[in-house]
Structure 1
Amino acid sequence: MKTSHRTMGAALAVLTIAALTSCGSGSGSDAGSSGGGTVTLKFLVDNNQATVSTAKALTDAFMQANPTIKIETETRPGGSEGDNIVKTRLSTGDMSDVFWYNSGSLLQALNPGQTLVDLTGDPALANVQKDFLPVVSQDGKAYGVPAGTAMGGGILYNRKVYEKLGLEVPKTWADFMANNDKIKAAGIAPVISTFKDTWTSQLFVLGDYYNVQAAAPGFAQDYTANKAKFASTPAARAGFDHLAEVHAKGLLQEGFGSATADQGMKLLVEGKGAHYPMLSAQVPPLVATTPAAATDIGFFGIPGADAAKNGATLWEPAGVYIPKTTEKLDAAKKFLAYVASPAAAEAMNKAVQPAGPYRVEGAKLPDDAIQVAKDLQTYVDEGRTAPALEFVSPVKGPSLEQITVAVGSGLTPPEEGAAQYDKDVEKQAKQLGLAGW
């Protein structure tokens, strides 16, 4: 997973639970098959255990259904080291036949028009949800299929606390704050913050992008072109304002500055805290040791100003791609078509508990899906989602988590924090050579 900057991306790579990976080669008819008419594809995956487990379930099921195609899986590191390996192998013509990599802005850095097979109009994309395609596209051409599930960035909440206090899921920020007042009066910490793990401080800002897009539809394009700023766009600055407000009103738990993400999830599951701005991918790892997390923790998008425009921000799944250098294009496309199928979702469900909805038509969550995944599925089914900013703009800054810790601790005013982040992104935007910077 990636987020507003590489540090959070590295931290959350571990959480990108269903990040499939595949490797391939990609240009003409299938060649290089081994004896007996079997074609062998190489499939590159990152070395996170959840990814490896998911990839094994996927390839085993595919090979059982397609006995003439063998898939050999290889692994690579995650994070920036993995980025460099992918870029190097593409540039040297040494990429595997199919490979997994980020969707969104990091994909753009691979120069997909020159390095990847264009799948626009291909049957491999037949089942892919249309609103996923932009994050695996460049210049209107699509290059990948979704690997695994999306995850939500918003508010995890304790459903038992809500039931006990007779609360309803808020549709506006004012409703959210009213709920917090009632929760505080009941002696429960309304909002959990875990600033020892600094990356967790960013969710009020990053998870608010659905509301930014709803209020300022052109923000991502203008932000990328240096025509819009967080500090001067009220809807974009709201995330910083929210961080400051929950601190100023005394809604955080005691010791929030030294708390870890694991401690925050424990407080949430135990009902000692009611809300935790966080990613849905934090929940599945808890279920094995704390089964109540599957049913007691729910999810809602960060509420905005207008109940009629309520929705949620998604971190889209990674993509599976085919490099132009493959000599086994037909087999590689067949594999991608399988990855983007309901059958693949069934295979993945058996390997890893999904943290959110699939982005494939007809792909269903398992009957025992965790509540946060079901909640996210509702947002997707109702068309009330937007991808996080990092999926629609390459402009990121490395210091957001330090800035949000300071704002969320009452050390930096929100308007100043937003301005600091606007300045923070300049260096990277210039390094990318973006117009307008």
Structure 2
Amino acid sequence: MKRNLLTVLTIASALTVIVTGCSSTKTNVATPAASENAPASTTASTPTAKKDVTLTVGSSQNWVKDIDRKLAEAFTKETGIKIDFQVNPDDQYMNIVKTKISTHEAPDIIYMPSGIGMDNFQPDKNFLDLSNEPWAANLKGWAKSGASINGKLYGFNTWSVDGWGVLYNTDLFAKYSLTPPKTYAEFAALCDKLLANGITPIYENGKDEWHLPLWLSGMSTVKGAGPSLTDKFNKNEAKFADQAVLETAMTQLNDMNKKGYFGKNVLSNDWDHGYEALGSGKYAMDLVYTTYQQEVVQKFPNSGADKWKMFPIPLGDNQGFATSSGGIIRVVNKESKNIDAVKQYFAFLSKPDNLKSFYTDRKDLGEPSFNGIEVAPPTAALKSIKEISGTNIDQAYESSIKFWDGGLLGKSLQDMISGASTPKQVLQKLDESRDKSFKVAK
């Protein structure tokens, strides 16, 4: 999710990247080895496209994995239809997509985060309605909801619903007699104790603009926020800077850095080095998705990461779990000249055996989006954070708020961490950006 769930919305400094086609850029999330399960054939009822077709697929660098390429190769072998993955840098992708759509140069298939953010792209005008595709009836409710706008299904979803929480090393917590905090004060106290014993409390990859905004995005469930405030945000009847609990949360995030909870190089840390930071035991916690521990185990088998647990983001005394709207989806360019080939490709990917191959490889994902696909038991992280949160579960702001500008927010939070901005100013900049977008939308 993750990250996905994660949102990549900074201003593109160059728009030539998507033209270069496929890229071998290293992904931020570990890619499991390809499954040995053989991809299944498509059904006879699937529309038949010409075999000299090449489908272009636009994606952020994190979102295309080895299993996607393997299934694409199997599809090509069976149909002759080629798949051209056009992979772009995280911090440029969404703005490249906006530009390509506006200039009528968008690829046939476009990866993007699920949820209300789709509404920013005028889906009725630009995306193909997939509501009547045969596979749509087998989507789970959350997968269909997160890929729909105004009752129309625009996204092909093979991701999973997940959320971000603080994963912690249970061995380190036990060693120093620490327990999951119920308040920010308790959280600060356990961080102080870890520091006193030579353990850096939290790994924060502040270099990546998409990650810092997750601390605020997860505040949708904090006491004083909730669905009613989300509704006001989406009607532009409330401002982030006017919410005392959100300003408190950002002030606490800033204090975490000042107190050394992130270590000395927070703005130099990137996502890839988080595995070693936690797997080596040098850091005790990280803000990640619930299947992240499985990736740590793959890289550090002796870390005991499979037993690690998770608690909610503690800012503002939060005890709720903010989830995605279903991860990353694929929408279809309404102007594509290869609609039949796209439908054939989606039908192929939605076959049960191919879905099984996909989820077997994608160990970073949780619950499958399609009914009838068996999954492994929930991770210790997911189980533990749901036990703490109970019924206090709702969609994170990045999935539920109109005109959530993760790129601008990421830069603003980096400025705050470096001392060039205040917590209040971070929220004010987000409000200013959203005001402009609402005016344009009207």
Category of TM-score, reference length = shorter chain: 0.7 to 0.9
Is contact 1:171–1:304 with CA below 8 Å preserved after alignment? no
Aligned-partner SS, 1:132: helix
Is contact 1:116–1:321 with CA below 8 Å preserved after alignment? yes
Give the CA deviation at 1:74: 0.8
Query: Deviation digits for residues 268-311 of structure 1, max 9, x if unmatched?
Result: 2222221223456876665554234652654433146678x632
1:56 aligns with 2:69: yes
Query: Deviation digits for residues 9-66 of structure 1, max 9, x if unmatched?
Result: 99x9944778xxxxxxxxxx936445xxxx97836253748715222333456689xx
What are the equivalent positions in structure 2 for 1:32-181 lying under 5 Å apart?
32-34=49-51, 42=55, 44=57, 46=59, 48=61, 51-59=64-72, 69-79=79-89, 80=92, 84=96, 88=100, 92=104, 95-96=107-108, 98-120=109-131, 122-150=133-161, 152-181=163-192
Aligned-partner SS, 2:165: strand
Query: Deviation digits for residues 393-413 of structure 1, max 9, x if unmatched?
Result: 22326442343245446x478
Instruction: Indicate the residue corresponding to 2:35 in structure 1.
Output: none
Code of the aligned partner of 1:347: S
Structure 2: give runs of 5+ residues left out of the alignment: 14-24, 32-45
Partner residue of 1:311 out of 315, 321, 325 = 321
Please give the TM-score of this superposition, normalised by the length of structure 2. Answer: 0.72
Please give the TM-score of this superposition, normalised by the length of structure 1. Answer: 0.72
Aligned-partner SS, 1:231: helix
Instruction: Indicate the residue corresponding to 1:336 in structure 2.
Output: 346
Of 263-272 and 288-297, more deviation after overlay is shown by 288-297
Distance 1:81 1:195 in 2: 19
Instruction: Indicate the residue corresponding to 1:400 in structure 2.
Output: 409
Instruction: Indicate the residue corresponding to 2:9 in structure 1.
Output: 6
Instruction: Indicate the residue corresponding to 2:219 in structure 1.
Output: 208
Distance 2:129 2:390 in 1: 30
Instruction: Indicate the residue corresponding to 1:386 in structure 2.
Output: 394
Distance 1:305 1:121 in 2: 44
What are the equivalent positions in structure 2 for 1:194-233 lying under 5 Å apart?
194-197=205-208, 199-211=210-222, 215-233=225-243
Distance 1:122 1:382 in 2: 36
Instruction: Indicate the residue corresponding to 1:426 in structure 2.
Output: 432
Instruction: Indicate the residue corresponding to 2:194 in structure 1.
Output: 183
Partner residue of 2:311 out of 300, 310, 319 = 300
Seen in structure 2, the aligned counterparts of structure 1 residues 8 and 421 have a Cα distance that, compared at 3 Å, is farther
Distance 1:186 1:400 in 2: 34
Seen in structure 2, the aligned counterparts of structure 1 residues 370 and 70 have a Cα distance that, compared at 3 Å, is farther
Give the alignment's Cα RMSD to 1 decimal.
4.6
Distance 1:71 1:215 in 2: 48
Instruction: Indicate the residue corresponding to 2:263 in structure 1.
Output: 253
Give the CA deviation at 1:362: 4.0
Is contact 1:4–1:389 with CA below 8 Å preserved after alignment? no
Distance 1:206 1:8 in 2: 20
Is contact 2:240–2:428 with CA below 8 Å preserved after alignment? yes
Distance 1:111 1:421 in 2: 26
Instruction: Indicate the residue corresponding to 1:290 in structure 2.
Output: 300
Distance 1:385 1:52 in 2: 29
Give the CA deviation at 1:182: 4.5
Give the CA deviation at 1:78: 2.0
Query: Deviation digits for residues 116-174 of structure 1, max 9, x if unmatched?
Result: 33233654223323233343222232211213345532313222212334444445545
Seen in structure 2, the aligned counterparts of structure 1 residues 216 and 42 have a Cα distance that, compared at 3 Å, is same
Of 153-162 and 78-87, more deviation after overlay is shown by 78-87
Distance 2:182 2:370 in 1: 27
Code of the aligned partner of 1:208: M
Instruction: Indicate the residue corresponding to 2:39 in structure 1.
Output: none
Give the CA deviation at 1:375: 6.4
Query: Deviation digits for residues 179-235 of structure 1, max 9, x if unmatched?
Result: 4354345442333344455554333223333437x8331333422443212221134
Distance 1:364 1:171 in 2: 34
Distance 1:388 1:83 in 2: 21
Distance 2:352 2:104 in 1: 35
Seen in structure 2, the aligned counterparts of structure 1 residues 262 and 94 have a Cα distance that, compared at 3 Å, is closer
Aligned-partner SS, 1:271: coil
Identity %: 21
Of 242-251 and 223-232, more deviation after overlay is shown by 242-251
Aligned-partner SS, 1:118: coil
Distance 2:297 2:359 in 1: 14
Is contact 1:303–1:311 with CA below 8 Å preserved after alignment? no
Aligned-partner SS, 2:222: helix
Seen in structure 2, the aligned counterparts of structure 1 residues 332 and 255 have a Cα distance that, compared at 3 Å, is closer
Is contact 1:48–1:78 with CA below 8 Å preserved after alignment? yes
Aligned-partner SS, 1:119: coil
Is contact 1:153–1:206 with CA below 8 Å preserved after alignment? no
Distance 1:382 1:33 in 2: 51
